[in-house]
Amino acid sequence: MRHFQDELEALQQRLLQMAGVVESAIHCSVRSLVNRDEKEAVRVLELEDRINHMEIEIDDHTTRLMTLYQPMARDMRFLTAAIKINSDLERMGDLAVNVAQRSLSLIRQPPVKPLVDIPHMADLVESMVQRSLDAFVRRDGAVARQVLESDDAVDDLKDAIYDELVHFMELDPSTVRRAVDLMFVAHNLERIADHATNIGEDVLYLVKGIDVRHHAENRG
């Protein structure tokens, strides 16, 4: 049996590898939309396959460590955080696939408008995902809190995007299908940000042993 601390370290490395694949999937899905590039969208589907395998493997690894080593409270907190972060990462992968599918539909039709706000929102969301993982690796509560704060900015951007798209549809009904696709792109990006926020909350719990989940909703 490997030393328990080595096992925990290996598990964390594996989660980070998975996060890297998930970040690539998100990035490809947005690039596919912005550059109207089908190949990037197809790449997301391939990455999702890898993500799904990694999720199962990490879950098994975590459950095995819980059972074999009978960890103390602190390590058990890390292991339950690992299960949750694993699940959040896998769902981000699914959401990137949703974006890629909307992109494939949009590529086949003329553009509604030049895309400005959605790439901007995507940048912010991608940075939240990265920072949530940084916070996890460094057990950095301050960075985790920044992630929670960014979530409000993402919500504001999403609301602005919705309003603009509703306006387009009301003015020109021929844009309805495409505008609905874009609305769901923004919605999926917002949900990715929600999962990054979940990770930030898990990090705060891990660092301080406090549960901010439902207080976080009342902040600001």
Site for its own copies in 27-66 (CB under 8 A): 52-53, 55-56, 59, 62-63, 66
Whether 83 contacts 59, CB under 8 Å: yes
**Spatial separation of the C-alpha atoms in residues 19 and 129, rounded to whole Å:** 9
The site for its own copies, by CB under 8 A, has a size of: 35
- Pick between residue 73 and residue 142 the one whose CB is nearest to its own copies: 73
The residue from 17, 20, 173, 208 that contacts its own copies (CB under 8 A) is 173
- Pick between residue 81 and residue 143 the one whose CB is nearest to its own copies: 81
The residue from 1, 67, 110, 114 that contacts its own copies (CB under 8 A) is 67
- Pick between residue 6 and residue 172 the one whose CB is nearest to its own copies: 172
Site for its own copies in 137-156 (CB under 8 A): none
- Pick between residue 113 and residue 177 the one whose CB is nearest to its own copies: 177
Q: How many CB atoms lie within 10 A of CB 41?
A: 25
**Spatial separation of the C-alpha atoms in residues 126 and 200, rounded to whole Å:** 14
Q: Is 159 near its own copies (CB under 8 A)?
A: no
DSSP 174: G
Cβ at position 165, least distance to its own copies in Å: 9
Q: From residue 157, how far is each of 26, 40, 106, 125, 166 by CA, in Å?
A: 18, 25, 21, 11, 14
Site for its own copies in 91-130 (CB under 8 A): none
Q: How many CB atoms lie within 10 A of CB 20?
A: 12
Tokens 């999403």: give the residue. Answer: 158
Phi and psi based region of residue 36 (left: phi greater than 0; alpha: psi -120 to 50; beta: remaining): left
Query: Which parts of this chain interact with its own copies (CB under 8 A)?
Result: 52-53, 55-56, 59, 62-63, 66-67, 70-73, 76-77, 80, 83-84, 87, 162, 166, 169-171, 173-174, 176-177, 180, 183-184, 187, 211, 213-214
